[in-house]
């Protein structure tokens, strides 16, 4: 996991959500566009999943990725594509079809990922598919890429809320992409429902809300994505 390291409160930079947005802008100005950051974020998620569940086992782990309509979901689509192309039995549960995603670069990541998943004979399900509860109940690892750092509020309703509840009922190891869905990356306040993560892969740097609510995040792992965040924010 060369692309990842455990969060160290003495050494790692911690930024609030507005500062992270500024960091992304500065990274783009330095020649690293958001599409590249998304590709690296998806690869970082795949690295962690791979470390938890090596392919060379008698029981090849069943991996479910819950992908929302935004760029957090885009990270999940990239991760799914990478793992599917490596032969993992992957299922994506999407709150919005790849063709219907509006956010960029999530849309440009999701469309080819969807094709790659089908080419690898993996499964892509709509979030309202009746098979979703069974798929999550049988999963070994579930990646939560539903809601990102832009989320705030007291409740997660509708499809996302239902998927979070199913995730929390699942026996799968839960890996959150950037922040557990339903947790404010700014304040650390948890909505209802809020995903319970065993691992949280926080992209670029740690966020204030994640540090404040570390108990909800499980093991916090930082994915710098090849960006020297401290230098860019100096």
Annotation: binding site for (6S)-NADPHX: 71-75, 148-154, 178
β-pairing, 141-145 with 63-67?
Answer: parallel
Structure tokens at 189: 């306040």
For 224, residues 6+ apart whose C-beta sits below 8 A from its C-beta are 3, 5, 204, 205
What is the Cα 59 distance to its own chain's centre?
A: 24
CA dihedral 1, 60, 122, 2 (to 10 degrees): 0
Annotation: binding site: 71-75, 144, 148-154, 178, 181
Nearest to 13 by CA among 191, 196, 228, 166: 228
Sheet bearing 123-126, strands edge to edge: 5-6, 219-223, 199-203, 173-177, 141-145, 63-67, 90-94, 123-126
d(C-alpha 234, C-alpha 172), whole Å? 40
Phi-psi region of 153 (alpha: psi -120 to 50; beta: other; left: phi over 0): left
Annotation: binding site for K(+): 72, 144, 181
d(C-alpha 69, C-alpha 44), whole Å? 20
């Amino acid at each position: 996991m060369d692309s990842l390291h455990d969060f160290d409160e003495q050494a790692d930079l911690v930024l609030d959500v507005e500062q992270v947005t500024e960091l992304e802008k500065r990274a783009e100005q330095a020649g690293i566009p958001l599409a590249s950051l998304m590709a690296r974020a998806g690869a970082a998620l795949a690295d962690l999943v791979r470390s938890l569940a090596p392919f060379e086992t008698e029981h090849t782990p069943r991996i479910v990725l819950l992908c929302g309509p935004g760029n957090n979901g885009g990270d999940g689509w990239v991760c799914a594509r990478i793992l599917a192309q490596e032969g993992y039995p992957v299922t994506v549960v999407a709150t919005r079809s790849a063709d219907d995603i509006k956010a960029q670069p999530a849309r440009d990541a999701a469309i080819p990922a969807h094709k790659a998943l089908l080419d690898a004979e993996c499964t892509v399900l709509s979030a309202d598919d009746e098979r979703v509860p069974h798929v999550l109940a049988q999963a070994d690892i579930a990646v939560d890429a539903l809601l990102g750092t832009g989320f705030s509020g007291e409740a997660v309703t509708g499809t996302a809320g239902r998927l979070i509840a199913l995730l929390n009922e699942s026996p799968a190891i839960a890996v959150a992409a950037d922040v557990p869905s339903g947790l404010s990356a700014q304040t650390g306040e948890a909505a209802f429902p809020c995903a319970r993560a065993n691992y949280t892969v926080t992209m670029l740097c740690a966020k204030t809300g994640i540090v404040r609510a570390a108990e909800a995040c499980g093991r916090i792992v930082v994915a710098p994505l090849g960006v020297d965040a401290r230098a860019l924010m100096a």
